[in-house]
Amino acid sequence: MNTPDTVILPISFIFHLSDFTHASEVAFMHALKLGLITEAALSIMHITSDSADAGWLDFPAVRLTLERWGILPEGSKRSDVADTGLQVQKVLAEGRDPADAVLNYLAQEPADLVVLATHQHDGMARWLHRAVAEPIARRSKTMTLFIPHRSNGFVAPEDGRITLQHVLLPVDRVPPPQDAIDIAADLTRAFGVEQVAFTLLYIGAEGDQPMMQLPQRDGWTWNTVVRQGHVVEQILEVAAHCAADLIVMTTQGHQGFLDALRGSTSERVVRGGSLSSSCGTGGLSGLMDDLFLDFDDA
């Protein structure tokens, strides 16, 4: 079993929005794993139009998950969770617009990382079929990890193992890609991943790629792919080809990164497949069964 390195990630408060579905359960496990590694505070929120429809017992089971992962002994007490360095808060809120409710909460309690499932608009009558994940990531300008509804991500649910092997980083001159490269490397080190392949994807002419500093480590490989064509289509195609577990990219909201079409590149990548993470002023995202981390460099 790999031992995570001591890496100081700029994450002290993680926010997770749960709709109590399987996709949100997967997202919760990623939020929990990241919280354990960073010893961050974790706030789990559920929003309902009627508080009588949900109760505290419906929330993801933190202690049971930690027991299953072997971090806590069976039959642990609530106070034992704090001994792991993790602080957990569960928030039950009423509201008809989940995006507005979350943004209001984050305005009062700014988070360093938001973890969301991307399927909230599918079949969720109580949320009025509104798109939730994309506007939260865009308007909060917070690093966001998106988990697709058909994905198990890179955290094994049975024991919390990290299964990250391939990371895709779409890059451009604007915005600069170095923050995305650094956070991808820091996350990989923090997770204790020894063997990982990073693929740098540039959409444009050969030789026009931005200058980048690539962290080196035994077991890490860096490959560069240059493509021409539609940005989102190329990202999704390369992600599928290299079986990316995680896509990390820097964006500038609706500007930069060749966003000539409506919507930011990261939003269109999220719509184009089952992505899992995105970064606003920091974030992650993925394709099909991959995760997507996207940073807003505004």
Among 116, 147, 178, give the residue marking a domain's end.
147
Per-residue pLDDT reduced to its tens digit, 78-136: 899 999 999 999 998 888 788 888 889 999 999 999 888 876 444 333 333 346 666 67
Position 6 in a domain: no
Q: How many Cβ atoms are within 10 Å of 64's Cβ, its own excluded?
A: 12
**Residue-level pLDDT at 127:** 34
Q: Are residues 73 and 24 in the same domain?
A: yes
Inform me whether the pLDDT recorded for 1 exceeds 70: no
Q: Are residues 199 and 122 in the same domain?
A: no
**Residue-level pLDDT at 288:** 36
What length does the chain have? 298
pLDDT band at 296 (very low <50, low <70, confident <90, very high): low
Buried b (16+ CB within 10 A) or exposed e, 121-148: eeeeeebeeebbbbbbbbebbbbbbbbb
Inform me whether the pLDDT recorded for 284 exceeds 70: no
In the chain, the number of structural domains is 2
Q: Are 285 and 247 in contact (CB under 8 A)?
A: yes
Inform me whether the pLDDT recorded for 298 exceeds 70: no
Rounded Cα distance, 128 and 199, in Å: 38
Position 252 in a domain: yes
Note the pTM of the prediction, 2 decimals.
0.81
Position 264 in a domain: yes
Inform me whether the pLDDT recorded for 282 exceeds 60: no
Q: Are residues 107 and 210 in the same domain?
A: no
Better-scored residue on pLDDT, 124 or 31:
31
34: tokens are: 């990241």
Inform me whether the pLDDT recorded for 138 exceeds 70: no
Position 8 in a domain: no
Q: Are residues 125 and 243 in the same domain?
A: no
Q: Are residues 19 and 136 in the same domain?
A: yes
Q: Are residues 182 and 133 in the same domain?
A: no
pLDDT band at 268 (very low <50, low <70, confident <90, very high): low
For 265-281, what is the mean pLDDT? 46
Among 95, 118, 147, give the residue marking a domain's end.
147
Instruction: Name the nearest CA neighbour of 11 among 243, 223, 283.
Output: 283
Inform me whether the pLDDT recorded for 286 exceeds 60: no
Residue 34 φ then ψ, to 5°: -65, -35
Per-residue pLDDT reduced to its tens digit, 226-261: 999 988 788 888 988 988 888 887 766 544 433 332
Per-residue pLDDT reduced to its tens digit, 165-196: 999 999 988 888 898 899 899 999 999 999 99
Position 230 in a domain: yes
Domain of residue 271, CATH code = 3.40.50
Domain of residue 25, CATH code = 3.40.50.620
pLDDT band at 157 (very low <50, low <70, confident <90, very high): very high
Inform me whether the pLDDT recorded for 141 exceeds 60: yes
> CB-hemisphere CA count at 13 Å for 97?
8
Among 147, 181, 199, give the residue marking a domain's end.
147
**Strand, coil or helix: 4:** coil
Q: Are 201 and 172 in contact (CB under 8 A)?
A: no
Position 157 in a domain: no
Q: Are residues 125 and 184 in the same domain?
A: no
Position 234 in a domain: yes
216: tokens are: 């080196």
Position 142 in a domain: yes
Q: Are residues 239 and 290 in the same domain?
A: yes
Burial class (CB in 10 A: 0-12, 13-18, 19+), 101: buried
Q: Are residues 191 and 222 in the same domain?
A: yes
Rounded Cα distance, 133 and 19, in Å: 12
Domain that holds residue 81: 13-147
Q: Are residues 69 and 143 in the same domain?
A: yes
Per-residue pLDDT reduced to its tens digit, 35-73: 999 999 999 999 887 766 667 788 999 999 999 999 999
